[in-house]
Structure 1
Amino acid sequence: MEKINYQKELEKILSRFPAEGKKPSLLLHACCGPCSSYVIEYLSGIFDITIYYYNPNIHPEEEYLRRLEELKKFLAVFPDSLKNKVKLVIDGYDPEDFFSATNVRTEVELQKEPERGERCRRCYALRMSRSWDYACKNGFDWFTTTLTISPHKDSQMLNEIGISLEKQKPAGVKTCFLLSDFKKKNGYLRSTRLSLEYGLWRQEYCGCVFSMQNSMQSNKMEEKVPEGEK
């Protein structure tokens, strides 16, 4: 099956918008400041952006709060977010949402999965569904997520979840899902440069306790490899 270039699909959608006039509203699910940086820069001239921070997967709570504070710090100083009055909505933090949605306590094999597996798919679906519901209930024109900017995330999986959500929307709801692959066209590289420019702290693992454990294990194994064999 031919892979879809979601960046090109995004560009087709954006080309339909008028150059001037009222901006359509966009609810942008975000996991942190660094991942939001380039996406805000890229889209804030086109959309009236509201960031939605819902990430019950992040472990521990101190990590969750630190990522949130970095996002707030960035929004307060980044010219594009200030000029375009980017708003921030913070949803509740209950890790049980993550454990229930992924069912990792029963399906224990999911705990050891590398990133991009079924555990991640269920986590994406949880966060995107909650964000989508908020977008629909509050009359946003569009919804998308910053998650596709990460080279470690499965963009096809993320877009398929978004497409599925849009297909199931009730009659009368105007919200549409915005296809994306923000890592393309050096989007990820730009996000790393913006992080350096604005002194943003970049996390060392995806977010959940299992990604943290897997990352720690991987780092330990790397340390054991003799220098000449790396």
Structure 2
Amino acid sequence: MTPQKINYQKELEKIIAQIEEEKKTTVSFIKPTLLLHACCGPCSSYVIEYLAQIFDITIYYYNPNIHPKEEYFRRLEELKKFLERFPQATQNSVKLVEDIYNPEEYFKATNVRQEVELQSEPEKGERCRRCYLFRMKRAWEYACKNNFDWFTTTLSISPHKDSEKINVIGRELEEQKTNDSSAITIHTKFLPSDFKKKGGFLRSTQLSEEYGLWRQDYCGCVYSQRNGKKDL
């Protein structure tokens, strides 16, 4: 029997509803903190608009998969410009944390140089799954060390990304924490998502146009660029 597919958008809506109910019934309510891994400004736009009223958001920019270096920094600068101008970001004090850019971390994590068949895979394959994993794990570790209530990633907003794989990784990271006796004090939870749903991807394109955001025409790594696969 095929397992029933999980609707991650509905899972997210349930969590948001619980938080909003808590806000109504708690006198000294404080927004839960969210570490949001982000790959670029366009992908972040709708997610910030959607979640900034609910969570105290910190953007975590860790993407050593992006090639070339100039592309990496261009995406980072576009994200910074957007955060400075977007009302939801400025009014809700959305913060930005930049991690290091070391492409060798990407090659090591994906083993793509040794497993050469991965280099020509289309989007959503094993190369991409490994790329999701190592970036999300880095974000999760940062979130745990800094006592964030939640962590998630903007990756699921793209129709070219595998939301099932992204959410499975997030759940596994949370379970790893739960099963690790040395992490008893860590309370960071994974926030499920499928941000492309409910018109999320369309809204991100509208916001990109409204704010003049530069939209890249490939996912990020040298292989997605080389294979000509588009991931906006």
Q: Distance in 2 between matches of 1:78 and 1:195?
A: 11
Deviation of 1:76 after TM superposition, in Å, equals: 0.4
Letter of the 2:11 counterpart: E
TM-score (norm. length: structure 1): 0.93
Alignment root-mean-square deviation, CA? 1.0
Q: Distance in 1 between matches of 2:89 and 2:100?
A: 23
Q: Distance in 1 between matches of 2:212 and 2:202?
A: 15
Q: Distance in 1 between matches of 2:132 and 2:221?
A: 12
Name the SS for the 1:27 alignment partner. Answer: strand
Q: Distance in 2 between matches of 1:137 and 1:19?
A: 26
Equivalence for 2:39: 31
Structure 1 counterpart of 2:116, from 91, 97, 108:
108
Equivalence for 1:12: 14
Q: Distance in 2 between matches of 1:106 and 1:153?
A: 24
Q: Distance in 2 between matches of 1:138 and 1:149?
A: 25
Runs of 4+ in structure 1 over 3 Å off:
none
Matching of residue 58 in structure 1 with residue 66 in structure 2: yes
Identity of paired residues, percent?
71
Matching of residue 125 in structure 1 with residue 133 in structure 2: yes
Q: Distance in 2 between matches of 1:60 and 1:181?
A: 28
Q: Distance in 2 between matches of 1:106 and 1:99?
A: 9
Q: Distance in 1 between matches of 2:210 and 2:4?
A: 38
Letter of the 2:77 counterpart: E
Equivalence for 1:200: 213
TM-score (norm. length: structure 2): 0.92
Equivalence for 2:180: none
Q: Distance in 2 between matches of 1:179 and 1:14?
A: 11
Name the SS for the 1:19 alignment partner. Answer: helix
Name the SS for the 1:168 alignment partner. Answer: helix
Q: Distance in 2 between matches of 1:174 and 1:3?
A: 27
Deviation of 1:19 after TM superposition, in Å, equals: 3.2
Equivalences for residues 1-230 of structure 1 within 5 A = 1-17=3-19, 18-20=22-24, 21-169=29-177, 170-215=183-228
Q: Flag structure 2 segments of 5+ consecutive residues without an equivalent.
A: 178-182
